[in-house]
A and B are shown apart, each in its own frame.
Chain A
Amino acid sequence: MDLIENYKKVWDNQSEDSNKASSIEIYKIAQLRSTSIVKWIFIIGILEFVILNSLPFFFDMKEAYNEYRRLGLESFDFYYQIIYYFISFYFLLQFYLNYKRISTTDSTKVLLKKIIKTRKTVKNYVLFNLSYFAFIMIIVIIATIQINPDDLTNKKILLIIVNIVIITLLFLGFLWLFYQLLYGILLKKLNRNYKELKSLETL
């Protein structure tokens, strides 16, 4: 007889697990909170929205607004903020809908795909925030240079640009590390399994 067939018999004959749960135990366990990856992605995603949206409260925005006024960017700032919140809300909605669509009753592949999509929404949201940040920076630099061209020597302009680039790189580096750690730990297994299933398509 085939080796596997032989082992299959052994498998079929295995006794019930020794720590069978009783109805009461099952009932109690069923009421517990899930600690699944999906839950964590949801919590982390929400935290990212909250943190990014509360950043203005941590900084002294009064000074920034005065600066905007001085640079003549008041109305620009107003419209830009509206667009920003509109897009943020869109991301939040997408994130929530993606999360809601995740169901363990799907096939494994579909389930993995949906989880990855949910995480991607948050990733795109952060990318959007970074682009927004960079765009504002560029506008402010241009406005500064235009408003007082006499005050600024080429050396000063270069210094400002270098400073901004360093700050941006530090910020990006920190974010990258954060992402590597967070999602790296969380999704290592998930990504591996998804790749495995994807590779089955091209057998």
Chain B
Amino acid sequence: MQKELENNFLSDFEKNQNIAHKICRLYTTNQSDHNNLFQEITIQLWKNYPKFRGDSKFSTWMYRVALNTAISLYRKSTKTVKTQNISDYDYKIKAIDYDNTQEIQLKALYKAIHQLNDIDKALIFLYLEDKPYKEISETLGISSINARVRMNRAKEKIKKILNP
């Protein structure tokens, strides 16, 4: 029974782990924080997995748990030296890339989202991930109308940062 649960969890999580990585990359600015948050998300997912009944897709459930962990449970380690932020991620960009405009734009997007507050980050992230407003409002616990209004504001903020 336990073994089956473990196997299901591992296969579900492995398939969707990029959701967690994207959230980590949005909510942290260096590799060590990224790893810590990823660890906490994994622990929370596993801890709550027995309660996951499959009423919704695993990924939908995972968005909620992972975002909650990033917004509410996780605290950055105080030891982090701020000056080495962001540049830590540079290694992720391949050195020889014939078309690196894509990577440069992606980096600019992440950098822009980093400047938003935690809630706006979640809104923009869920928008980029193509989540319907119903799911967004349920995940955050706000009304659908408020989610819409707030989303438009967050988008405006992002636009201003990306194209001042």
B22 contacts A by Cβ under 8 Å: yes
Scoring B18, B47, B140, B141 by chain A CB atoms within 10 A of each residue's CB, the highest score goes to B141
Q: How many residues of A contact B (CB 8 A)?
A: 50
A86-122 residues at the B interface, CB under 8 angstroms: 103-112, 115
- Flag A1-34 by CB within 8 Å of B: 1 or 0 each: 0011001101111101111111100110110111
Q: A20-B21, A29-B42, A104-B65 known; A111 and B150 CB under 8 Å?
A: no
User: A108 with B67: in contact, given A16-B18, A201-B142 (CB under 8 Å)?
Assistant: yes
Bound state CA distance, A81 and B45, in angstroms?
44
Given contacts A34-B40, A34-B43, A201-B146, whether A107 and B72 have CB atoms under 8 Å apart is no
Say yes or no for A36: interface residue by CB 8 A criterion: yes
Is A189 engaged at the interface, CB distance under 8 Å to the other chain? yes
Could you say which of A20, A21, A104, A189 contacts B68, with CB atoms under 8 Å apart?
A104
Candidates A4, A13, A108; contact of B158 at CB < 8 Å: A4
Q: Find out whether the CB atom of A36 lies under 8 angstroms from the CB atom of B142.
A: no
Q: B102 CB to closest chain A CB, in angstroms?
A: 6
Contacts of B117 in A (CB 8 A): 192-193, 196
- Interface flags for B91-127 (1: CB within 8 Å of A; 0: not) read 0100000000010011001000000011100100001
Measured in the bound complex, the distance between the Cα atoms of B142 and A38 in whole Å is 22
How many Å lie between the Cα of A35 and that of B141 in the bound state?
A: 24
* Contact assessment for A36 and B73 in the assembled complex, using a CB-CB cutoff below 8 Å: yes
B133 at the binding interface (Cβ < 8 Å):
no
User: A66 vs B89: C-alpha distance in the bound complex, in angstroms?
Assistant: 68
Inter-chain contact A189/B47, CB cutoff 8 Å: no
Of B48, B71, B92, B142, the residue contacting A200 (CB under 8 A) is B142
| Contact across chains for A34 and B146 when beta carbons are under 8 A apart | no
Count residues of chain B with CB under 8 A from any CB of chain A.
62
The B27-75 residues at the A interface (CB cut-off 8 A) are 36, 38-40, 42-48, 51-52, 61, 64-65, 67-69, 71-75
Q: Is the CB of A26 within 8 A of B43?
A: no
With CB as the reference atom, state the residue of chain A lying closest to B153.
A203
CA A8 – CA B141 in complex, angstroms? 24
Taking a contact as CB atoms under 8 Å apart, the answer to whether B119 and A32 are in contact is: no
- Do A106 and B68 have beta carbons less than 8 Å apart? yes
A110–B48 CA distance with the chains assembled, in angstroms: 16
Task: Choose among B42, B105, B141, B149 the residue that contacts A203 (Cβ–Cβ < 8 A).
Answer: B149
Q: Provide the residues of chain A in CB contact with B106, threshold 8 Å.
A: 10-11, 14
Name the CB-closest residue of A to B69. A104
B contact residues around A36 at 8 Å (CB) = 40, 44, 69, 73-75
Closest to B112 in A: A7
Complexed CA–CA distance, A29 and B10 (Å): 11
- Asked, given contacts A36-B69, A203-B149, whether A108 binds B139 with beta carbons under 8 Å apart, the answer is yes
Further 8 A-B residue pairs, CB within 8 A, beyond A30-B42, A104-B72, A109-B141: A4-B155, A29-B42, A30-B43, A35-B40, A36-B74, A103-B51, A189-B118, A193-B71
Residues of A within 8 A of B (CB): 3-4, 7-8, 10-14, 16-23, 26-27, 29-30, 32-38, 103-112, 115, 185-186, 189-190, 192-193, 196-197, 200-201, 203
Closest 9 pairs between A and B when the two form their complex, measured CB to CB: A107-B141, A109-B141, A17-B21, A36-B73, A30-B46, A29-B42, A11-B128, A10-B105, A196-B119
